Structure 1
Amino acid sequence: MATLEQCVSALEDVMGTLAAQPAASGLDRSLSCRLTDLGQVVRGRLVTGRVHGLRAEPDVAGGPKADIRLTMTSDDLVALTEGRLAFAPAWASGRVRMEAGLRDLLRLRSLL
């Protein structure tokens, strides 16, 4: 199981790379990544080609919903950043879940 610090760093890498791509220009969305095995949610904001304000908090039912929501284990998040796990097959198999509005899903799909 990866540590919370490793997960925050990995999320900065993954989302930072995504946000820096030209197709993401102008994207301003709240982001959350629920880490099922740690019982934590990492929240932040994707804006102006960068990820801002990532912070971890306990995963509680009824918490605020972000515009873009990811759900996975800590090890899968780290594996995504290290290139040991590809997003599309992980998403298709249910190891990684992504929820967002239709417009955001279409935009993110072009980035992945």
Structure 2
Amino acid sequence: MALWSLRTTPSRATGYTPFFMVYGSEAVLPTDLDYGAPRIKAYDEQGAKVSLKDAMDQLDEARDFALLRSDKYQQALRWYHSRRVRGQAFNIGDPVLHLVQSNKDCHKLSPPWEGPYVVA
């Protein structure tokens, strides 16, 4: 149930669901089958084959659009983050902490910082 929910929820970055990005059409939800959604009632086998070919042509365009939208989203996140980051100047003799880069041989309660070190 959790995977189904994740795969059928539109991403904020791309605007599309992961299911659409892979298969080129939106998933048929179980509730659509139970309650007879218009999409289910209007299904036609011959029309589905033709529309599948059209959807495959449009899928590349949708993926390109999703890539552009994702880049724009990441740029907005970088801008949001960078305007809140304050510059920090260190002087000789200041104690500082160092972020641990490798999580090898660490467990979830290990401290993420090592130190303190003194600026030379």
TM over 0.5: no
Q: TM-score, normalised by structure 1?
A: 0.23
Whose helix proportion is higher, 1 or 2? 2
| TM-score computed with the length of structure 2 as normaliser | 0.22
Q: Which has the higher contact order (CA 8 A, sep 6+)?
A: 1
Q: Which has the larger radius of gyration?
A: 2
The structure with more strand, counted as a fraction of residues: 1
